[in-house]
C-alpha cells in the first residue's frame, strides 16, 4: 500500500491476469466442493502429514512434509496428497493426479481460475520445487500408463487451508513464498497468512459493530474475521493484485462467511486507493489495519507493496495514528500493528506517544525491540534478498545508513488501539506499556475487558469529586490471580509479595504489605472504603492521606485486572 497521489475512491471489481480469477462463480463452487471432499482443511492436512511434519510446515520447513507425502504415495497414494504437494510444497504433479483429486472442477477449471500452470510433458520438478521425486510418485499413484509422459502442472499461487472461529474451514489464496518458489519475491507480492496478520486477528476486539474498515486488506484475512461481528466491511488496498486475491478468497468462502456471492457488495466493498483516500468523508465503528509498516531505506528502487509504505522512517505509522481517529464514528475504535523508531538516548515510548492526537484514547503495547542490525537482517531475509551476496551487502549497508541518518538505536514493534470518545471528556487516557513475555491468545477478549474496567474507573473518577469514587464498590480477586511470598530464611515477614496473572496479559506486580492485606480481603463482603478503613485502624494510620493513597493503588490493580468489580 505505498503512498500515491490521486488514488481516490474507486470500487474494485477487476479481473487481474496475474491473480486468481473470481469471475466464474460455478467454478468456485465446484472447487470448494472438491476441497471439502479432499478434507483439505487444517485438521485434515495435519492428520495426513502427522503432527511433527505439519508443525515444521508451519515454521516454513517443507522437507518433513515432502518426505511424508513421498512415503504415502509409495504406499498406494491418496488424492489428498495432491493439493498438499501442489499448493503447500510447490511440487509439480501429473495431470492424471489432478483429474483424480478434482473431479468437480477438473484441470481446465483450475487453469481457468489461474490456480495452476502447465510445466510441460517432460516431467521433473518445477522451478523452485523443494526436491525431486515427489511428482514422479504422484504420477505413479495416479495410475499413468507407459509411453509418452503426461502433462505436468505446478501451482500458480498458494492455496492454504485456514481454520478460524469465523466460519470453520476456509481456504486462502496468496502468492507462493520463497520456500515454495525460491528467489526474490515480486514487488507486488501478496502475502498470505503470516505472523503479523494472525497477531492482529488475535488482538482485535470482537465487539459487534455496524461498519468496519480493513485498511490494507492484502489477501483479506482481517476482512474474514470482521465479517463475524460487523454488518458491513469495507476493504481497501492500493494493490490491484491484493484486491483480486481478496475478492477470490471472499467468493470462494462465501457460504462459510455468510456472503451472497451474487451480491457481494451487500456486505463487503473492495476499494482501491492509498491510506484514507478510498474512504474520505466516511466514518466507521471499527478500523483494523496491518499496514505496510516496515521501515526501509529510500534507495529509489521499487519497494514491496505488502510491507513498504513508501514514506521515510516510521512516517506511515505516524500518519495512520494521527489520521485514523478522523474517520471513526463517536465511540469508534481503530487497531493496528506498527514499527516505530527509538532514537539514541530516549525512552522507547517518547516518539510513538507524540503521534497520538489530542482528545483520543490510546493504548500502545510494545512487544519487541530490534537493533538496526537485527532489523536489516530480518527484512532482507523476509523478501529472500539474502540469496545474492552482493545485493545483500548493498541492502544491509543501506538499512544501517538510513537508521544512522536519524540517530536510530532501536526499532519497536507492537500494537496500537485508538478510540474517539463518544462525548468530549477531560478524562482522555493514553497508556503505553512494554510487554515482551508470552501472553494468552487470542488476547482481544482480555483487552476488551481491560478497556471496560478503565471505563468503569473513569466513571468513578468523575464521581470522586462528590466523595464517592470506588470507596463504595465491592471488589473481587480475579480468578486467574495467584499470590507469591518470598522471604529470607528465618525472617519473620516476607520481603517480597507478588501477584501474578495466569491469563490475559499475564502481568506480575509487586505489592506493599498494606496493599497485600487489602487484596486478601477482597471477597465481596466489604466495600473498598471499608477495607481501607479497617487497614488504617489496624496499622494505626487513621489519616485520610493513607486511605486515599491506598485506593489509588487499588485503582491500578483494577486497571491491570488483578481486582475486578463484583457483579
- 545-563 per-position pLDDT tens digit: 999 999 999 999 999 999 9
Q: Are 18 and 290 in contact (CB under 8 A)?
A: no
Mark whether 60 and 206 lie in a shared domain. no
Mark whether 298 and 428 lie in a shared domain. yes
pLDDT averaged over the chain?
89
Q: Are 56 and 65 in contact (CB under 8 A)?
A: yes
441 located within any domain: no
Mark whether 313 and 263 lie in a shared domain. yes
Q: What is the span of the domain harbouring residue 49?
A: 21-156
37: nearest Cα among 82, 93, 70: 82
Q: Where are the beta strands (DSSP E) in 238-395?
A: 268-272, 284-289, 328-343, 361-370
Mark whether 540 and 419 lie in a shared domain. no
Q: Are 62 and 74 in contact (CB under 8 A)?
A: no
Q: What is the pLDDT of residues 389-434, one digit of tens each?
A: 888 898 899 999 999 999 999 999 999 999 999 876 656 789 999 9
| Cα–Cα distance for residue pair 134/124, rounded to 1 Å | 9
| Mean pLDDT, range 185-205, rounded to an integer | 93
Instruction: Give me the pLDDT at residue 270, please.
Output: 97
Rg (the chain; Cα; Å): 27
Q: Are 190 and 247 in contact (CB under 8 A)?
A: no
| Cα–Cα distance for residue pair 126/330, rounded to 1 Å | 54
Question: What percent of the chain lies above the pLDDT cut of 70?
Answer: 89
> For residues 37 and 135, which has the higher predicted lDDT (pLDDT)?
37
Instruction: Give me the pLDDT at residue 247, please.
Output: 97
Using alpha carbons, list the distances in angstroms from residue 65 to 52, 70, 177, 315, 413: 9, 9, 16, 41, 32
Residue 141 pLDDT more than 90?
Answer: no
> For residues 464 and 543, which has the higher predicted lDDT (pLDDT)?
543
Nine-digit cell string for 382:
523476509
78 located within any domain: yes
Q: What is the DSSP string of 534-550?
A: HHHHHTT--SHHHHHHH
Q: Which stretch of DSSP H or E encloses residue 529?
A: helix 528-538
| Mean pLDDT, range 240-266, rounded to an integer | 96
Mark whether 373 and 471 lie in a shared domain. no
The DSSP letter of residue 353 is H
Question: What region, left, alpha or beta, does residue 217 occupy, with left being phi > 0 and alpha being psi -120 to 50 degrees?
Answer: alpha
Instruction: Give me the pLDDT at residue 265, please.
Output: 93
Last residue of a domain, one of 384, 407, 436: 436
Neighbours of 339 (CB within 10 A): 22
| Mean pLDDT, range 304-324, rounded to an integer | 89
98 located within any domain: yes
Instruction: Give me the pLDDT at residue 544, please.
Output: 86
188 located within any domain: no
Mark whether 430 and 501 lie in a shared domain. no
Mark whether 104 and 74 lie in a shared domain. yes
| Cα–Cα distance for residue pair 259/253, rounded to 1 Å | 8
The DSSP letter of residue 151 is P
Last residue of a domain, one of 386, 410, 436: 436
Backbone angles phi, psi at 255, to 5 degrees: -60, -45
Q: State the pLDDT confidence band at 116, using cuts at 50, 70 and 90.
A: very high
Say how many domains are in the chain: 3
Mark whether 125 and 221 lie in a shared domain. no
Mark whether 98 and 225 lie in a shared domain. no
Last residue of a domain, one of 156, 176, 210: 156
150 located within any domain: yes
Residue 490 pLDDT more than 50?
Answer: yes
Residue 93 pLDDT more than 70?
Answer: yes
Mark whether 480 and 510 lie in a shared domain. yes
| Mean pLDDT, range 242-268, rounded to an integer | 96
Amino acid at each position: 500500500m505505498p503512498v500515491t497521489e490521486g488514488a481516490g475512491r474507486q470500487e474494485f471489481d477487476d479481473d487481474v491476469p496475474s491473480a486468481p480469477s473470481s469471475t466464474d462463480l460455478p467454478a468456485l463452487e465446484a472447487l470448494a466442493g472438491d476441497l471439502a471432499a479432499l478434507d483439505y482443511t487444517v485438521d485434515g492436512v495435519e492428520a495426513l502429514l502427522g503432527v511433527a511434519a505439519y508443525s515444521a510446515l508451519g515454521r516454513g520447513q517443507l522437507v518433513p512434509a515432502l518426505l511424508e507425502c513421498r512415503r504415502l504415495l509409495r504406499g498406494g497414494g491418496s488424492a489428498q496428497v495432491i493439493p498438499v504437494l501442489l499448493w503447500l510444497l510447490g511440487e509439480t504433479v501429473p495431470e492424471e493426479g489432478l483429474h483424480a483429486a478434482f473431479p468437480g472442477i477438473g484441470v481446465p477449471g483450475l487453469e481457468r481460475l489461474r490456480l495452476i500452470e502447465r510445466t510441460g510433458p517432460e516431467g521433473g520438478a518445477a522451478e523452485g520445487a523443494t526436491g525431486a521425486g515427489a511428482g514422479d510418485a504422484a504420477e505413479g499413484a495416479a495410475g499413468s500408463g507407459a509411453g509418452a509422459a503426461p502433462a505436468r502442472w505446478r501451482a500458480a499461487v498458494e492455496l492454504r487451508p485456514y481454520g478460524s472461529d469465523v466460519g470453520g474451514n476456509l481456504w486462502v489464496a496468496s502468492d507462493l513464498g520463497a520456500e515454495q518458489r525460491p528467489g526474490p519475491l515480486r514487488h507486488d507480492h501478496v502475502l498470505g497468512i503470516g505472523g503479523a496478520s494472525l497477531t492482529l486477528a488475535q488482538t482485535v476486539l470482537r465487539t459487534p459493530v455496524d461498519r468496519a474498515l480493513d485498511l490494507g486488506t492484502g489477501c483479506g484475512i482481517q476482512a474474514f474475521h470482521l465479517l463475524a461481528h460487523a454488518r458491513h466491511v469495507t476493504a481497501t488496498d492500493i494493490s490491484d493484485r491484493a484486491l483480486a486475491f481478496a475478492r477470490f478468497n471472499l467468493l470462494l468462502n462465501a457460504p462459510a462467511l455468510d456472503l451472497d456471492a451474487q451480491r457481494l457488495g451487500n456486505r463487503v466493498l473492495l476499494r482501491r486507493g492509498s491510506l484514507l483516500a478510498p474512504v474520505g468523508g466516511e466514518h466507521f465503528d471499527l478500523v483494523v489495519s496491518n499496514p505496510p509498516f516496515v521501515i526501509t531505506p529510500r534507495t529509489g528502487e521499487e519497494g514491496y507493496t505488502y510491507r513498504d509504505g513508501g514514506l521515510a522512517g516510521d512516517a506511515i505509522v505516524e500518519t495512520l495514528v494521527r489520521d485514523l481517529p478522523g474517520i471513526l464514528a463517536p465511540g469508534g475504535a481503530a487497531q493496528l500493528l506498527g514499527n516505530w523508531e527509538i532514537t539514541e538516548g530516549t525512552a522507547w515510548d517518547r516518539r510513538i506517544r507524540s503521534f497520538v492526537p489530542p482528545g483520543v484514547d490510546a493504548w500502545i503495547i510494545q512487544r519487541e525491540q530490534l537493533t538496526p542490525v537485527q532489523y536489516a537482517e530480518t527484512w532482507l531475509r523476509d523478501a529472500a534478498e539474502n540469496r545474492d551476496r552482493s545485493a545483500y551487502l548493498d541492502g544491509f549497508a543501506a538499512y544501517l545508513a538510513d537508521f544512522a541518518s536519524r540517530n536510530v538505536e532501536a526499532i519497536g514493534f507492537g500494537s496500537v488501539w485508538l478510540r474517539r470518545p463518544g462525548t468530549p471528556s477531560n478524562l482522555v487516557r493514553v497508556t503505553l506499556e512494554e510487554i515482551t513475555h508470552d501472553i494468552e491468545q487470542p488476547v482481544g477478549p482480555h483487552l476488551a475487558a481491560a478497556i471496560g474496567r478503565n471505563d468503569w474507573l473513569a466513571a468513578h473518577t468523575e464521581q470522586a469529586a462528590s466523595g464517592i469514587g470506588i470507596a463504595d464498590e465491592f471488589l473481587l480477586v480475579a480468578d486467574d490471580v495467584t499470590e507469591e511470598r518470598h522471604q529470607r530464611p528465618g525472617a519473620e515477614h516476607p520481603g517480597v509479595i507478588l501477584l501474578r496473572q495466569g491469563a490475559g496479559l499475564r502481568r506480575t506486580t509487586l505489592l506493599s504489605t498494606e496493599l497485600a492485606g487489602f487484596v486478601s480481603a477482597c471477597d465481596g463482603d466489604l466495600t473498598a472504603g471499608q477495607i481501607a478503613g479497617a487497614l488504617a485502624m489496624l496499622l494505626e494510620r487513621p489519616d485520610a492521606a493513607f486511605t486515599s493513597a491506598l485506593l489509588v493503588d487499588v485503582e491500578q490493580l483494577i486497571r491491570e485486572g488483578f481486582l475486578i468489580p463484583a457483579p
